[in-house]
Structure formats: structure tokens, C-alpha cells
Amino acid sequence: MLGLPDDITVALFDLDGVLTDTASVHRTAWTDAFDAFLADRAGGPIDARTDELRPFTEQDYLDHVDGRPRTDGVRSFLASRTIDVDDATVTRIADGKNDAFLAALERDGVRAYPGSVRYLHAARDAGLHIAVVTSSRNGAQVLEAAGLTEFVEQRVDGNTIVDEQLNGKPAPDSYLRGAELMGVAPAAAAVFEDAISGVQAGHAGRFGHVVGVDRVGGGQADSMRDAGASIVVTDLAELLPDAGGTPEPNDHPATARRTAP
């Protein structure tokens, strides 16, 4: 009924971009924070012709920031520009991004994807157990603002990652912790992710099914398959029986490697 293998009993959902339309808010906040840093470093307007100091782009977000813990994202992006800074600067950029995100959250609120809400209802009605695994340290606030708290039995978020010293995505640690809290082996859990780093985490953790949610288009679906997604959809409602059939699973060799004992 849910587009998952029969032996899956737990669903581990990423939050931003999978359940809620907050990935775009994160991307805008990151753009503001990085462009402010680059302009300060340049001593004036940033120049697209300068490789190191060209403006932060959507592709930069997807390649270096999306799905990762906040400071990991800062370090990954700066390394891609061969910019070396101290820890205080990393923290300042990360804090600036979070301030911008929280301001947008307060100003605009949060919208849950209708297809995701339908899927959550269907999953709960079918007896599937639900957890959220997100790198965001604002996971509780986003769930509450979107009206989704009632569905979630356990939550692993950015605070958990810091407090328990877990490695962030693309390492599988946060998803493995989610499965542990739900009392199941990874093979009995499905991962739902919109970030390449999250798909990689699901693949690395040898989870029973990895659903890639492509909200971007272009080559994102192919990149998700290459990263180990078992299936790629553009909306979770596509997995429901009234959507006209379940998409074909990914037959990329990575799937066979992931499910091997």
C-alpha cells in the first residue's frame, strides 16, 4: 500500500524538503549568510568572474550544504572555494544562517507538503512506525509549526547529533540512531530523503529501502540513483495506491550492494 517492501516496519523521514517546504527557506538563509561573508572577504560586491568569491549558488547548496549539519555545511562549502578560516568564523557564518532561518520561520510560517501529509496518514493507518531524522537543530519547532508532531514517535535532530557526538550525513550515524530508538535493525526501516548526502547515508547504513524525493529536477534523480536510492519520486503521494501505480524501483547496481547481507 505504501510503495515499500513488505518487511519494512519503520519509516525514517528527513524533514526539510521531504515533509515540509522549508528546504527553500534554508537555501535562502544559506545564500544570505555566505554572500555576506564573501562580500566582507572581498571588501565590496562579490564578482561572479572571481572563482573564490563568486556568489553562492543553488548548486553549491545541493553539493555542499543540503542535508548536512550546519557547521559541516559551512566547512564543506568553504573548502570547495579553497577558503581557510578559523572555527570562530565557521560558527559566525552558521549562526548568521540560523538567525535568518528563524526570522523567516517566524515571519512566514511552515507549509507541510500535502502529498507528504497524505502519506503520513496512510503510513500511520497501516501501522508503520514513524520517526524524523534531520540535521536541523530546529526540528522540533518546524514539526510543531507544520502540525506534524502527532505523527512522530521519535526524533533525531541536529541537537542529538551534537549531544551524542554523531557523525552527520552523509555518514549513516543519525539514521542508525533513529532505527535504534525505534527498536529495529536497519533492514526493517526505510529512509526518505531529498538530499544527496541523506541518500548516501541511507545507502551506507544498509537500510531496507531508500526513497529519494526529488524536489529539484534536472539531474537530481539520476544523482540520487547513483547515490543508492532504491526509488525516486517527486512527491510521496506517488507511492500511494491511488496515485496510479508505484514507480519502478531503481535497478542501479548500488541497490544490490546496499541490500546484500
CATH fold, domain 10-22+110-259, is Rossmann fold (3.40.50)
Residue 66, H or E segment:
none
Ranges assigned E (strand) in the chain: 10-13, 129-133, 154-156, 189-193, 209-213, 231-233
pLDDT value for 171: 96
Return the minimum-mean-pLDDT range out of 180-194, 195-209, 230-244, 247-261.
247-261
Per-domain residue ranges of the chain = 10-22+110-259, 23-108
Q: Write out the CATH class of domain 23-108.
A: mainly alpha
pLDDT in tens, 32-91: 999 999 999 888 888 777 788 889 998 999 899 887 888 999 999 999 999 999 999 999
Cell 572563482 belongs to which residue? 51
Sequence-distant (6+) residues with CB within 8 A of 241 are 1
pLDDT value for 47: 77
pLDDT value for 243: 65
> How far apart are the C-alpha atoms of 115 and 135, rounded to whole Å?
22
**From 14, 66, 157, 214, the catalytic residue:** 14
pLDDT value for 246: 44
> How far apart are the C-alpha atoms of 129 and 26, rounded to whole Å?
27
pLDDT in tens, 124-136: 999 999 999 999 8
pLDDT value for 131: 98
pLDDT in tens, 31-44: 999 999 999 988 88
Told to judge if 86 belongs to the known catalytic residues of this protein, a careful annotator would answer: no
Told to judge if 14 belongs to the known catalytic residues of this protein, a careful annotator would answer: yes
Q: Which three cell numbers stand for residue 122?
A: 496512510
> How far apart are the C-alpha atoms of 22 and 5, rounded to whole Å?
29
Sequence-distant (6+) residues with CB within 8 A of 209 are 4, 5, 8, 190, 191, 230, 231
**From 6, 7, 16, 51, the catalytic residue:** 16
